[in-house]
Structures are given as C-alpha cells and as structure tokens.
Amino acid sequence: MGTGKWTAVLAPMLLAAASLPAAGTTPDRISEAAAAVEDKVIAWRRDIHEHPELSNRERRTADLIAGHLRSLGLTVATGVAHTGVVGVLEGGRPGPVVALRADMDALPVTERTGLPYASQVRSTYNGQDVGVMHACGHDNHVAILMGAAEVLAGMREQIPGTVKFIFQPAEEGPPPGEDGGAPMMVAEGVLKNPDVDAIFGLHISQGDRVGQMSYRPGGAMASAQRFEIHVQGRQTHGAQPWAGVDPIVVGAHIVTALQTIVSRQVELTRGPAVVTVGTFHAGVRNNIVPDEAKMAGTIRTFDPDMRDAIHRKIEQIATSVAESMGAEATVHIDGIPPGLPVTHNDEQLTERMLPTLRSVYGAENVRLGDPITGAEDFSFFQEEVPGLFFFIGGRPADVPLEQAIPNHSPLFYVDEGALVIGVEAMSRLAVDYLQQSGG
C-alpha cells in the first residue's frame, strides 16, 4: 500500500539526518525531524500490526516502546495499569507539563486485509479462540507517539517544560473481571509527578482522507454504558408452550420495546442517543422452551440527564414487559454513575491549539466534525486535566468516502502517509502548548 501524497512531498527530506538541524524555526525543525523518522515509524507500525495483543496483554508492545524511550534518554516507567508505559522528557528550560497519549491494545478480530504484514495471531477471549487484529488503528497511534518522542528528544534543550508520553493499555476495555485502561492509569497517578497541565490524543480512521483531520470542541464522543437483561421464564416442552413461560418471546418483545426509547421517548434535539442490543442468548435444543434468556447491549449519550432517563426507561420497559407476560426481568447497567464519560474537549484549549493543527494540516484540511457515538476512555484523563482529542484521516486519497472501511472491521487498513503528519501534529501540539503557557 502506498503512503500517499504526503510521502511523495516529503520524500526528499528522508535523506536528511535524523538529528535536528541547527537552523530554522521550530515548526520547520519539527517538520524535518518528523520526515526523517518516517521510515522508522512505518516499520514500528507494521511490526506492531503483525504482532497485536489484546487488552491488558500488551507485553511485547510495551517492551518495544520502553526500549525505544530508554534509547532516547527518557525516564521510563513500565507496568503502569498492568502493561502501560510512561516516558518523561525533561526539557532544557523550566515550564509546564504536557502529556501525549496513545492506546496500545488490539481487538478479537480475524484480519482479512491481505496485507503482507497482516496479523496471523490467535488468542483466547472470553473463553473463545479468536483472531487478534489492530482493527481500530491503535498500532498507528503507538508508532506515531514513538516517532514524536524521538522528534522531541532531538530538541530537548529547546523545550520549555516537560513532555510526558503515555502509552495506555486496554482502551477497548479490560477483560471481564479485570480492571485497567485510562481509569486505572489515573488512579495509579499517571497525571502526577510531574503534574500534567494538559493532554492531547488522536485517533485514525477512514472517515477523512489522508492529510485531513477533524475536531470538535465540547462533547466529541459519547458516554457509554453496557447493560444486561436477564429474563426468567419457566421451562417446558416445545410442543406445549402453554405449560411454561417462554423467555425467548418475552425477550423479543423487550428488544422491540427498547427501540421506542430513542425513536419516541427522548428529545433528540438535545443530543444524539443510541440503545443497541448486541447479544441475545437462550436455549440449548430446538424442542425445549428454556428457563431463561440473556441479552446485553450498549447505551450511548452526550447529555447526562438523557443518559439517566434512558437508564430508567430500560429498567421500566424490561421489568414491565416481562411482568405482563408472566416472566421476571432484572437489569444491570455497568458503571452507574457515570460509566464511560463523554469525551469532552476543553473549549478554550481546543480554540487555542487550532492554529497549530491548521499549520500542520493546512486550514483547508481541518474541519469541524460531527458528534461521534463511539466512546473513548481518553475521557477519564479529560476529567482530571484539560484535554484535546482529535481525529486524523487514514483513507487513501483515491478511495471515495462511501467506500470507507470502518474501524473494528476485519478489512480495516490505513494509508501510511498519515503517520508522518501525525508525528508532526503531536510534536507541534506539545511544543506550541509549552511555549504559549509561559515556558
């Protein structure tokens, strides 16, 4: 796969030495340094892509990251929130502290891209044998941040403050029965010692073409909670359904009724909302009405009051429908309150850093994005310090938007030309923030 027009534009720079030139403005130096490490970044990304690891199991990835950060002379902590890695770069001048974050984990998805470095890894997830793939693009995020660490380490003496590089495990959620991810990193003090003043993160997708990016101040990604509904019926012979209570039929009515929450019961002008039932399990044999049925799903909202109202309506619908049909239903919603919070970009920080992003991508390639009903545990960092989470394009320039492949698909891939621009963007955000903050 080609790396797009950005590689072609920057190709002459690849012949430059990896060290930063003595002359030139800081933006120019960062741009040249990013171009000089592009080949490394692509190689890291392909290596990580070929060797993906599930949440809380990112040991090989962590070793690769830690070794690179140590080679740059950073102070490195490992084993943070199980497998996380944190590197601290102290600049040559005093100033504030800025954090840059990348997520490390892959998904239980069997890859079907046909790439020469496609994953062949298999593992166990929830007791099932599964393929493992970086279907959400976290391999790109890790490689970009490793590249930014090298760029910024090369200009250490000119940095007015401190940069903290946070490589986070389990963004997709820790395995059942385990803790992990951003909330565990926060609890273990990742934003302390030194105390972080602001944090930046990015996510790649095919929603924009390579060389483009989008952002949204305020609520950018949804709050998310997982819900489970357990319907208790009464088992009987399939030929005599009247002798029992069929939990499958009860569950089907519950699923149908839940669809009226978003379509008829919440004020959608206040913000988007989603209620999705993703699993439905019941029975073991064709001629037996089972005792129970179990469903699980997800709730996505941008408004706390709407979130709470939806929680109440799920409980009311499930229990009332079950009761009306002679069954019983119990509802469990994870993390009340608040579950996975809204990914909220600090409005002042976003406005302040927009000139940097427009400088890197070109003003014509920076757009205001729509709210995204996907969720991100970057939100836990943003609850502690001002943060900006933005989205970079990975769709090849010759692929139309209607043919974009979504994240989490077994066919997901990116144009690697996006990586060098991501390195430049993260490096520029760190330096510009520190300079503007009095460093």
Q: Can you spell out the DSSP letters for 177-219?
A: T---HHHHHHHTTTTTTTTPSEEEEEEEEEEEETT-EEE-SEE
In Å, what is the CA distance from 45 to each residue of 61, 109, 147, 170, 362? 11, 18, 10, 18, 25
pLDDT, residue 414, reads 98
As a whole number, the mean pLDDT across the chain is: 93
Residues 74 and 184 in one domain: yes
In this predicted structure, the answer to whether residue 89 has a pLDDT above a threshold of 60 is yes
Q: How far apart are CA 99 and CA 78, in angstroms?
A: 16
pLDDT of 42 > 60? The answer is yes
Task: Report the C-alpha gap between 404 and 204 in whole angstroms.
Answer: 13
Are 38 and 26 within one domain?
yes
| Same domain (yes/no): 394, 325 | no
Query: Measured in Å, how far apart are the chain's first and last C-alpha atoms?
Result: 41
Q: How many angstroms separate the CA atoms of 19 and 28, rounded?
A: 13
When pLDDT is averaged across residues 87-110 and rounded to a whole number, the result is: 98
Average pLDDT over residues 7-20: 39
* CATH number of the domain that residue 81 is part of: 3.40.630.10
103 is catalytic: no
**Residue 311 belongs to domain with CATH number:** 3.30.70.360
Q: Is 171 assigned a catalytic role?
A: yes
Per-residue pLDDT, averaged over 5-29, amounts to 49
- Rounded mean pLDDT of 292-303? 96
Question: Which residue in 53, 171, 197, 208 is the catalytic one?
Answer: 171
Q: Is the pTM of this model over 0.85?
A: yes
Q: How many CB atoms lie within 10 A of CB 84?
A: 27
Q: Tell me which of 333, 353, 386 is where a domain ends.
A: 333
pLDDT of residue 176: 84
Closest to 29 in 3D by CA, of 18, 44, 41: 18
**pLDDT-derived band at 8, boundaries 50, 70, 90:** very low
User: Residues 139, 54: one domain?
Assistant: yes
Residue 277 in domain: yes
Query: What confidence tens digit (pLDDT) does each residue in 332-369 have?
Result: 998 754 578 999 999 999 999 999 999 999 999 999 99
List Cα–Cα distances, 132 to 54, 119, 126, 162, 411, in angstroms. Answer: 7, 7, 13, 35, 13
Active-site hit among 32, 38, 105, 139: 105
Residue 371 lies in a domain: yes
- What band does 171 get if pLDDT is binned at 50, 70 and 90? very high
Cα separation, 174 vs 177, in Å, equals 8
Reported confidence tier of residue 438, pLDDT bands at 50, 70, 90: confident
Residue of 24, 12, 68 whose CA lies nearest to 44: 68
Q: 20 or 421: whose pLDDT is higher?
A: 421
Q: 166 and 294 in one domain?
A: no
User: Residue 10 pLDDT more than 90?
Assistant: no
8 or 235: which leads in pLDDT: 235
CA nearest neighbour of 85 among 72, 96, 93: 72
Instruction: State both tokens at 293.
Output: 């049925």
Q: How much is the average pLDDT of 370-378?
A: 95
From 6-10, 30-34, 295-299, 425-429, the region with the lowest mean pLDDT: 6-10
> No. of H helices and E strands in the chain?
11, 18
Cα distance between residue 41 and residue 423, in whole Å: 9
Average pLDDT over residues 380-406: 98
The sign of the CA dihedral 431, 435, 437, 439 is positive
Domain presence at residue 381: yes
- The DSSP call for residue 342 is P
CB 268 within 8 A of CB 261: no
Asked if residue 330 has pLDDT above 60, the reply is yes
Average pLDDT over residues 314-319: 98
pLDDT score of 86: 98
Residue 121 lies in a domain: yes
Q: Of 165, 36, 144, nearest to 416 (Cα)?
A: 144
- What is each CA distance from 348 to 127, 164, 216, 424, 426, in whole angstroms? 46, 21, 12, 22, 18
- Domain final residue pick, 274, 303, 333: 333
Residue-level pLDDT at 336: 55
* Amino acid residing at 150: E
The answer on pLDDT for 304 being more than 60 is: yes
**17 falls in which pLDDT band (50, 70, 90)?**
very low
**Are 316 and 349 part of one and the same domain?**
no
Query: How many domains does the chain divide into?
Result: 2
The predicted pLDDT at position 177 comes to 87
- Residue 338, in any domain of the structure: no
Q: Is 307 helix (H, G, I), strand (E, B) or coil?
A: helix
CB contact set of 253 (below 8 Å; sequence gap of 6+) = 321, 325
* φ and ψ at residue 228, rounded to 5 degrees: -130, 140
Q: Is the pLDDT of residue 373 over 80?
A: yes
- Which of 283, 307, 333 is the last residue before a domain boundary? 333
Q: Both 206 and 284 in a single domain?
A: no
Residue 232 has pLDDT above 50, yes or no: yes
Judgement on whether residues 18 and 75 belong to the same structural domain of the protein: yes
What was the pLDDT predicted at 320?
Answer: 98
Range(s) of the domain holding residue 279: 223-333
Q: Is the pLDDT of residue 12 over 60?
A: no
Task: Give yes or no for a contact between 164 and 185, defined as CB atoms under 8 angstroms apart.
Answer: no
